Structure formats: C-alpha cells, structure tokens
Amino acid sequence: MNLHRLLLARAEAGRPIRIAQIGAGKFGSMFLHQARRTAGMHVAGIADLSIPRARAALARIHWPDGSYDAATLDDAIATGATHLTEDAMALIADPRIDVVVECTGHPEAGLRHARAAIAQGKHVVMVNVEADVLAGPLLAREAAAAGVVYSMAYGDQPALVCEMVDTLRAGGFTVIAAGKGTKYLPDFHASTPETVWGHYGLTEQQAREGGMNPQMFNSFLDGTKSGIEMAAIANATGLAPPEDGLAFPPAGTSELPAILRPHNEGGILPRKGMVEVVSSVRRDGSDIPDNLRWGVFAVFEGETDYARRCFTEYGVATDPSGRYAALWRPYHFIGLELGVSVASAVLRREPTGCGDAWRGDVVAVAKRTLRAGETLDGEGGACAWGKCIPAARSRAMDALPIGLAHGIRLVRDVPAGSIITAADAPPDAGRDAVRIRAEMIAACG
C-alpha cells in the first residue's frame, strides 16, 4: 500500500524509474498517457517500428510538443524528455534503463525483447500476453535466475485476477474459480476479419475510420483472447483450465457463486479450482442486466459455519447455500493502470502476477475444414481460433499453439472444430519463437 510514497521518494531524490517501452499501440499509449502524470517515472525511450506512427500516438494522447524530440537517449535522460527509436535492442541494452515494458502484441518479438532485457539485467513488464502464454514460464525462470522481475501487466485482466486470487488466499480462503467476463455466443468461434464488424454493430467504413484492426478485434470476439488470458492466469495461480476448453457460461454478478461452483453441488465446474470466462449475454443474445463484460471475478468458499455467518452479516454475495461467495471488479483500466506493475517491479521487486509453471496452453482450432496447402493466418484470422486447455493435454497431442499458427502451411486436411497439431502444420524450427517454445517445454513441461 505504499507504492505512491516510494515513487514520490524517487522523484524527490531526482532518481525516477527509467522506462524503455517497446511498442506504442493502444495499450502502450494508454500507459504513456498516465506515465507523464506519475511522479517518479520517466519514459526515457520508446521503440517502435514506425516513428511517424509513434509520434502520432503521442500527439493523440496530448504529450506536449518537444517532449519526445530528444535526439539521443543521453539527451532524454539529461532533460527529462523521451527518445524515439526503431532500435528496440539498443534501448534495452542501455545500462541506465531500469525496466522494459513490452507492448508489441507480437509473440515472437515479445519473446526476443524480454529475453534480451533479462540478459541485460532489466525488469520486464510483459503486456504481450500472447508471448507470455507461448513461453512465459521459461522467461520467469530466467528472470529469477538473473535477479530481476518478470511481471504481468496490471490493468490487463490477468494481473487483476491474480491480485484478487492472491488477496483471497492470503485471507485464508479457498478459491473455487476465477476469470473475467466477455460477450460470447458459440457462433463467434467461426468469426473472421471479414465478418467481425457485424458482431460489433459497426460497418467496415466506421471501423476503418476508427483505425480499428479487424484481426485484432476478431481475436477478442472469437474466444482466442479469452483463452490466452485464462491460460496466463492458470500459469500464475495454479487454477486449472477445463479439459476441453472454456464453457463461457452466461452469468451476471448475482449468479457467479451459484453457477461457478462444483457440478455435484449445482454448478458447472468439473471440480474446485478452475479458470473460466462468463458471457455477458444469454445464448439467445439478450443482455444480462448485471453482466461483467468488462470485469473480473473470483468465487471462493466459506468453509465453516462461522465464515458463512459472517458472509450473511456483511452482505457478501453468495449462492443459495451461503457456502460459495463472489468478489468482482466491474471494469479494468487497461494501460491506464500499468504503472502499478512498473512501480512494483522496480521498487518492491515483486511482479503483479507471474507464471511459475506451465499449466495452461492455447491451441489452434480449425474454424472451418482446412485443406492441405493452405497457410494459417494467425490469431484472430480466418483459419483458427485459440482454445485454452491443460498444458499436459496440449503436450500429449503435440498441439500447435495459436501463437505459432501464422504463416505455416498445412500438410494435411484438418476438419472444422479439430485441434491443429504440429504434424498437421509443422512449424519452422529455425524461428526464434519455435525454438524458445521448445526450450520452455523442455524446462517447464
């Protein structure tokens, strides 16, 4: 509860946390907006593949003219301004940088950047959940061995769920289920970048004018992003993914404790201790009034009569038996809250969530019958969506992770709804991401 005091002390001492950020997209821009307003932080450098695009992002979030025109990193550090560069590795390597914030959203780039930062003795805040799910447990081990912090990004839903789970466990409670809300219907799994805007109630022109990326938005809609986030939570908390993927049950906040309890007690869970995502709409498409579309939750157990009586006395939301209770947060601030991770990593040397084992994986599932010779188009594309399953099952069937399902040619047909395996679409062993993933499986599998 003292991060703000610690930041103020750094500011007063003239020793702000020096931050290198990789990527200036939506999430990164949200953090950059707040970072300028946070005492004790200095974004010394931003690396992006397009400097004009980064400049446009900074102008859009109201950074003053001249604040990001430092010609070199030396100038930026001397004046408190920010240096823009296309050379992420040079920025990471500078010994004056305290922490690297990886915001690219590209799994392979994220793994390279994080590994380089750890090797240079820098803390890493991994906004790039796609990279984290592909090989995060390995990066966490390497960071611990190097004496630095590898952390999930606070403000994004996985870190908020981890915080909620940790708080409940620190209070002596057993967590029964945890996860987030989203808008879900079963036919969303078949959505493609060509059909996505109809589900959002937008025309292609409106989306284009808003600068919206159809493939990125489709990954949120088709269930892939939900799977990625639940796998990250499973790896960090020990909560288990369902054997054959998330169920996405419709549930409002008032229904959480009754629906997300074990099936032999009237709920849907195969057992206690699971990750899950609840839908904000019923299967007929109607909105649930107290839905949790933008939020996170945890269901926990009152294991004694005394605890259950206290739930009643203090208005805790429970199932009809009074045994299972729910805690939730109705929304998340995304990049606007990321400074909590930066401060925690540098000042307390604690991550805001970190995968300590490989428990959950996100595997590619065919959206339609795929034919030999077709080339997979990645997360949010027209070929496959990502399903969260136990890592042990993924390894046993040599499933293709969604994070590698881009630019790979199929060598045999795959029926609609089937998990794509490495035998169906052999990854290129020479790619960095494929090699790092194999190292992760060898070390953590």
What string of DSSP letters covers 300-342?
Answer: EE--SHHHHHHHHHTT--B-TTSSEEEEEES---GGGGTHHHH
Residue 209's pLDDT is 72
Looking at the chain, which residues constitute the CATH 3.40.50.720 domain(s)?
3-154+337-348
**And the tokens for 239?**
């909560």
Is the distance from CB of 153 to CB of 105 less than 8 angstroms? no
Residue 227's pLDDT is 98
Q: What b-and-e string marks burial along 357-389, b requiring 16 or more CB atoms within 10 Å of the CB?
A: ebbbbbbbbbbeebeeeeebbbbbbbbbbbbbb
Is the distance from CB of 228 to CB of 134 less than 8 angstroms? no
Coil, strand, or helix at residue 204? helix
Low-confidence ranges of the chain (pLDDT < 50): none
Contacts of 303 (CB under 8 A, 6+ apart): 174
Q: Classify strands 324-329 and 384-390 as parallel, antiparallel or unpaired.
A: unpaired
Q: How many helices (H) and strands (E) does the chain have?
A: 17, 14
Phi, psi of 9 (to 5 degrees): -65, -40
CATH architecture under which domain 3-154+337-348 falls:
3-Layer(aba) Sandwich (3.40)
- Going by the DSSP 8-state scheme, the letter that residue 236 receives in this structure is H
Instruction: Quote the CA–CA distance of 351 and 149 in Å, as a whole number.
Output: 6
Looking at the chain, which residues constitute the CATH 3.90.1210.10 domain(s)?
360-444
Residue 411's pLDDT is 98
403-421: per-residue pLDDT in tens? Answer: 999 999 999 999 999 999 9
Residue 204's pLDDT is 87
How big is the chain, counted in residues? 445
Tell me, which fold does domain 360-444 have in CATH?
A: Type Iii Antifreeze Protein Isoform Hplc 12 (3.90.1210)
Is the distance from CB of 192 to CB of 218 less than 8 angstroms? yes
Instruction: Residue 421: count other Cβ atoms within 10 Å of its Cβ.
Output: 17
Contacts of 4 (CB under 8 A, 6+ apart): none
Instruction: Quote the CA–CA distance of 269 and 322 in Å, as a whole number.
Output: 18
Contacts of 9 (CB under 8 A, 6+ apart): 40
- Going by the DSSP 8-state scheme, the letter that residue 415 receives in this structure is -
Instruction: Quote the CA–CA distance of 386 and 226 in Å, as a whole number.
Output: 9
Q: Is the dihedral of CA 167, 247, 139, 43 positive or negative?
A: negative
Partners of 102 in the β-ladder? 22, 126
Is the distance from CB of 215 to CB of 205 less than 8 angstroms? no
List, in sequence order, the alpha helices (H) in 61-100. 73-79, 88-93
Q: Classify strands 375-377 and 406-409 as parallel, antiparallel or unpaired.
A: antiparallel
Coil, strand, or helix at residue 20? strand
List, in sequence order, the alpha helices (H) in 314-428. 339-343, 391-397
Instruction: Quote the CA–CA distance of 177 and 239 in Å, as a whole number.
Output: 7
Task: Compute the CA torsion angle 335, 339, 341, 346 (nearest 10 deg).
Answer: 150
- 174's enclosing H/E stretch is strand 174-182
Instruction: Quote the CA–CA distance of 357 and 443 in Å, as a whole number.
Output: 10
Amino acid letter for position 346: V
